[in-house]
């Protein structure tokens, strides 16, 4: 199992898809290394944009 505990993008780079690309790369690397389960945690407080997606 691969677990991504934290990821962040500087405010000046937000909205450019950088976080999405980092997560995609993490997922690809995990799968290429034989992981069949991936877990991602997120901050619950002050993270409305991400929480709306969930």
Q: Name, in order, each residue with C-beta under 8 angstroms of 29's C-beta and a sequence gap of 6 or more.
A: 2
Residue 22's domain spans which residues? Answer: 2-53
- Each residue of 17-44: pLDDT tens digit? 998 899 999 999 999 999 999 998 776 6
Per residue in 4-13, pLDDT tens? 988 888 989 9
Q: Are 39 and 4 in contact (CB under 8 A)?
A: yes
Residue 54's pLDDT is what? 52
Domain count, the chain: 1
- Strand bridging mode 2-4 / 38-40: parallel
Q: What is the pLDDT of residue 27?
A: 93
Q: Is the dihedral angle over the CA atoms 26, 32, 35, 37 positive or is it negative?
A: positive
- d(C-alpha 9, C-alpha 22), whole Å: 10
C-alpha–C-alpha distance, residues 26 and 42, integer Å: 15
User: pLDDT-based confidence at 51, cuts 50/70/90?
Assistant: low
What pTM does this model have?
0.71
């Amino acid at each position: 199992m691969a677990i991504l505990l934290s990821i962040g993008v500087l405010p000046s780079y937000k909205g450019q898809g950088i976080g999405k690309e980092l997560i995609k790369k993490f997922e690809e690397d995990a799968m290429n290394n034989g992981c069949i389960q991936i877990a991602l945690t997120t901050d619950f407080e002050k993270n409305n944009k991400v929480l709306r997606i969930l």
